[in-house]
Structure 1
């Protein structure tokens, strides 16, 4: 089935350029401001969004926040701002990738295809369980939703993959290199901030109460592991 990609950018030339590379393979929607994107999103089934940060009516970061309240579909942020703080802000709000302008159209296409593969091309469902239960948490692999004490919690694609990695083998220490290569499926380039931002966002969702039974523990100098509450302060 053809996937639908939503492009949101107030520069029509950028959207037109990317459409040349993608229109034969995907169904494409376009909006030139954040409010128009919201209207398209509510009327269509969107599989991936590529959004600019600086737009009228509703900027890219505001749009990203709105999307994350509705869905965990992959979101790629395009930005003319190349400061590290902007990238961290975008990833912290739930973006799955961040590309600065000017960019190579072929690179954007490759990143779009990579996000679609990671999000929608699953292994044989019979090869793995449909859910993982640990303490108060239940991760539903078929719906890609986390339930905490029975209440659903929305996750981004990256957050889901992170949690699946940790919950699949509780207690195991994962180095930052292992985490990056498993979750992002790219060679590790010592981009510690990207991992730290996503770990922090995940902690906010699963560790918001002293009642929690499992925690993400930082193992200094090594990485992270998923532990029971009584192991949190163990050496």
Structure 2
């Protein structure tokens, strides 16, 4: 099949896709190329029932070529990629094994210098926490956390696949508030703020996605009962 050939996608009559990482919308009798977001080329599209889905270009293209409704592959734990010009479909376990066999994947032992640096970072954080407890001034603590925003943004895009900048900003702000509230409760010790922030961001992302799935099911149920 020619890479430039436009193909329709089952269940998504308003779109066509080709092999050149392009998706076009056919709404209102106009051909509009959609902007793909992130390294994986994610895009928001609406199915025939007007329900929004976020799909990557390769998944959309795979479904078009195989004439599979993309909705049938949702929550199946399948990873789709193109290698050597052919589609590769992997389960989660197979995907992990593939990553582990990549030349760039290796366990690098931590050096003493890195351990010293991490220890010093934790000590600086604990000093800020004690200052916060003594004086109630959390400016230095908050500044430390917000210096992690760039790192957390990369994590949210590449690992959690959050492509909406407003959502990322809200999640990061909520993670900072969560850490500060945890300190205020004084019922646990936070030794490593970076680890805490990663977990908080991941948990908040999962919570938001769970809420969206519940809302989508409610909408589908409502439309079915009309």
Structure ranking higher in strand proportion: 1
* TM-score (norm. length: structure 2): 0.23
Higher relative contact order (CA 8 A, sep 6+): 1
